[in-house]
Amino acid sequence: MNIGQAAKASGLTAKMLRYYERIGLLAPAGRTDSGYRQYGAEDLRVLAFVRRSRELGFSLEEIRQLLSLWQDRQRASADVKALAKRHIAELDLKIAELTRLRSTLGELVSCCHGDASPDCPILDTLGG
């Protein structure tokens, strides 16, 4: 299938397919005589893997590692689990930071009268 069909089938954009190919997450696509990219079933499996990995918040480098592990039938599942556990720890840190930011912003919003007055503690805090 051509790049547009592969993009539609994978739920990604053609731009993302070209990008993933450029950075090495996806093997270079075969080409027609006129130079158009051609994708097969295995390419779609890899793209689905990458898309699901991105949906779970893995970085491109983590996805590269996961792909390598996925394609290595001699891998140890402990390696996959360790990578996933590191990612969970990173997510926990992000969640804690977002929770703190939300709390701080919520406090500022509750202090703002939200009326016609120009006084605004939100802007005062942002202004330092």
Write the pLDDT tens digit of every residue in 43-93: 999 999 999 999 999 999 999 999 999 999 999 999 999 999 999 999 999
Query: Does residue 49 sit in the same domain as residue 3?
Result: yes
| 10 located within any domain | yes
pLDDT for the residue 91:
97
Among candidate residues 66, 106, 26, the one with its CA nearest the CA of residue 16 = 26
Residue 26 lies in a domain: yes
Q: How far apart are CA 83 and CA 79, in angstroms?
A: 6
In a domain, 71, yes or no: no
Residue 68 counted as domain residue: no
Q: Is residue 66 part of a domain?
A: no
Identify any residues that bridge with 31 across adjacent strands, giving them in sequence order. Answer: 37
Q: Domain range for residue 97?
A: 76-128
Task: Domain count for the chain, please give it.
Answer: 2
- Report the chain's C-alpha Rg in angstroms: 22
**Residue 101 shares a structural domain with residue 52:** no
Mean pLDDT (whole number) for 22-42? 93
CATH number where 22 lies: 1.10.1660.10
| SS3 of 48-70 | HHHHHHHHCCCCHHHHHHHHHHH
pLDDT above 70 covers what percent of the chain? 100
pLDDT for position 65: 97
Model confidence at 38, in pLDDT bands (50, 70, 90)?
very high
What pLDDT shows up at residue 128? 86
pLDDT at 3 over 90: yes
Residue 1 lies in a domain: yes
**Cβ atoms within 10 Å, residue 23:** 11
Give the count of beta carbons closer than 10 Å to the beta carbon of residue 42: 9
